[in-house]
Structure formats: C-alpha cells, structure tokens
Amino acid sequence: MQIESIDDNNTIALIKIRLENAENYFVSYNSLVLDVNNEWMIISNVALVAAKNLSPTNR
C-alpha cells in the first residue's frame, strides 16, 4: 500500500491510496472527517480497479 497524497483542513481530509496485487491495480480515494472524539472517520470511499495485462506465462 502506498499513500500518494493527503490533503487536510483541520477537520476534513482527502486521501489517495494506491495498492496492487498480482492481477490488478487499485486506487482508493477516501474522505474523512474528524469526529467529536478526535478520531478520523471515513465518510466515503471511491475505488478504481484496473486489470494488469498478464501474458499467458504469468497467469
């Protein structure tokens, strides 16, 4: 997992995360808000998935 960017403004944050496995690339965009207990809560997650191009010998 790689965190590509974090943009925060005290109580709201946007985070872009990149992941991959043997077959796919994933990018996740998360919106977070700081709650009354001073803990970050994810309020939305938009995920993109792209298949890796695998040759027949890599399957």
pTM, 2 dp: 0.75
Q: Domains in the chain, please, with CATH? A: 2-58 (3.10.450.630)
Check pLDDT > 80 for residue 54: no
Residue 50 structure tokens: 């792209």
Whether the per-residue pLDDT at 58 is higher than 90: the answer is: no
What is residue 56's three-state secondary structure? helix
- Say if CB 42 and CB 30 are below 8 A apart: yes
Cα–Cα distance between 35 and 33 in angstroms, integer? 6
Q: Give the chain's mean pLDDT.
A: 92
Mean pLDDT of 24-34: 97
Say if CB 39 and CB 12 are below 8 A apart.
Answer: no
As a whole-number percent, the residues of the chain with pLDDT over 90 amount to 85
pLDDT confidence of 2, banded at 50, 70, 90?
very high
Does residue 55 carry a pLDDT above 70? no
